[in-house]
């Protein structure tokens, strides 16, 4: 299982740490505390972000999503967003 700290999650999604902390406080995210620090389940973060359009948009434009086009993933099975693929098909 992949777990992120509050600061790592904020950077990944392109949002403020206080947004992540609010979600933790409200019980929207699954986490464990290790050595006094939150470690948030990555799967929980993804589910939470996809339920909130504002967070989802920030992920795409300010978080890791801004680099997706540079990854050049052409296989629709592995692409994070098949709609962004061009009409050309390349074999991997």
pLDDT digits (tens, 9 = 90+) for 14-33: 889 999 999 999 999 999 99
The predicted model gives 36-43 an average pLDDT of: 94
* Separation CA 92–CA 89 (nearest Å): 10
Distances (CA, A) of 3 to 8, 10, 17, 76, 85: 9, 13, 16, 26, 29
pLDDT in tens, 77-89: 665 565 655 555 4
Is the pLDDT score of 38 beyond 90?
Answer: yes
Phi then psi for residue 53, to 5 deg, are: -55, -40
Instruction: Say whether pTM exceeds 0.75.
Output: no
Q: What is the pLDDT, as a whole number, of residue 74?
A: 67
């Amino acid at each position: 299982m992949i777990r992120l700290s509050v600061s790592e999650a904020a950077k990944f999604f392109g949002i403020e740490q206080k947004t992540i902390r609010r979600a933790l406080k409200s019980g929207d995210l699954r986490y464990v505390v290790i050595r006094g620090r939150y470690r948030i389940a990555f799967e929980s973060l993804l589910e939470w972000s996809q339920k909130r359009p504002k967070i989802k948009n920030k992920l795409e434009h300010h978080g890791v999503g801004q680099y997706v086009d540079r990854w050049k993933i052409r296989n629709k099975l592995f692409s994070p967003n098949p709609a962004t693929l061009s009409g050309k098909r390349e074999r991997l």
